[in-house]
Amino acid sequence: MSSIATDAFSITPAPSKLHGCEVVGTIGEGAGSQIYVVIDPATGKRMALKHVVCKKDKDVRFADQLINEFNVGSAVRHPGLRRLVDMKVERTLFRKIKSATLLMELFSGEPLDHNLPRDDGSMIDMFIAVTQALAAMHAAGYVHCDLKPSNILRNAAGDVRVIDLGQACKIGEKKSRIQGTPDYISPEQVKLLPVDERTDVFNLGATMYWCLCGQKMPTLFTVGNKGENSFLVDQFIKSPHDHNSMVPEVLSNFVMECCRTNRDRRPRDMKVVLQRLETIRHGIKHRQPTA
């Protein structure tokens, strides 16, 4: 999903009302939806609202993703996940979806591809916050399945929100079609195998890879699905440290562990990821000279 800072939205609203709320600005668009800033009449507060209009039959899948996002978001509550408030679905007499709206927390942050931390400590703090949000999803039985820089918002204070749960699903679910973002997708998603916690570990690893070195990691999708014995072999992918020697080797090595093609060789869950990141953070901060 595409997002921009909430203080940069347009002042030309269209339409004037949605979901019973006054539209006061436009944030952006993505996944067949438009995202607006609205005033919630119940509280008088500014909120974000995602709107999908089904003009063609293929648009229904975007509405379905919005419904899925609300269902998953309603089942998982965590400060690191954007809070979802309410949803409305408009249908025809024959129950076909015409439009859907999702009322959400308005968070004054930018996606990571516009707002990366500048130092190693802040970067790792951000990774830890994302890991904690994903751990909450896993504890509730869900996998995000589409973590990437544009689905992580960060504000000036360093607060983080993981957003866009439209492709999230139950742990162990096998999807009928490939879903995910090519540069961050795991091998099991490409092969339509059941997804689990390690799927998000891979997505997180690929996201950390880009954050640390500004390069997109090759995935089974982007190089072609030729099997695990193809040229997509873990040791042939350059590490973040290889791309940028300023990246601490211990952090670079851990990112590569998260991105292993064989998921049995990745960290088994977000608890392990969190422990490792906290250890790495302690080591990096401990080595820094004190003021």
Q: Say how far residue 198 (Cα) sits from the centre of its chain.
A: 15
Q: Tell me if 6-104 shares its fold with 110-287.
A: no
Name the percent of the chain lying above pLDDT 70. Answer: 89
pLDDT exceeds 80 at position 287? no
* 13-49 residues labelled b (16+ CB within 10 A) or e (exposed): beeeebbebebebbbbebbbbbbbbbebeeeeebbbb
- Among residues 193, 144, 182, the alpha carbon closest in space to that of 166 is found at 144
Instruction: Choose between 123 and 222: higher pLDDT.
Output: 123
* Tokens linked to 122: 């802040």
Question: Picking from 21-30, 67-76, 282-291, which range would have the lowest pLDDT averaged per residue?
Answer: 282-291
Architecture label for domain 110-287: Orthogonal Bundle (1.10)
Q: How many whole angstroms separate alpha carbon 70 and alpha carbon 146?
A: 16
> What is the value of pTM for the model shown?
0.90
Half-sphere exposure of 223 (CA within 13 A, CB side): 20
Q: What average pLDDT score do residues 110-120 get?
A: 91
Do 107 and 161 meet the contact criterion of CB atoms below 8 Å apart? yes
Task: Indicate the class that CATH gives domain 6-104.
Answer: alpha beta
Q: What average pLDDT score do residues 1-30 get?
A: 67
Q: What average pLDDT score do residues 111-123 get?
A: 91
* Tokens linked to 118: 């500048």
Instruction: Choose between 226 and 38: higher pLDDT.
Output: 38
pLDDT exceeds 80 at position 30? no
Q: How many whole angstroms separate alpha carbon 173 and alpha carbon 70?
A: 18
Query: 3-state class of 234 per DSSP?
Result: helix
pLDDT one-digit tens code per residue, 194-232: 999 999 999 999 999 999 999 999 998 887 654 444 444
Do 13 and 23 meet the contact criterion of CB atoms below 8 Å apart? yes
- Among residues 176, 186, 112, 182, the alpha carbon closest in space to that of 145 is found at 186
pLDDT computed for residue 185 by the predictor: 96
* Tokens linked to 210: 């880009």
pLDDT computed for residue 285 by the predictor: 77
> What are the residue ranges spanned by the domains of the chain?
6-104, 110-287
In the chain, count H helices and then E strands. Answer: 8, 11
Average pLDDT, the chain: 90
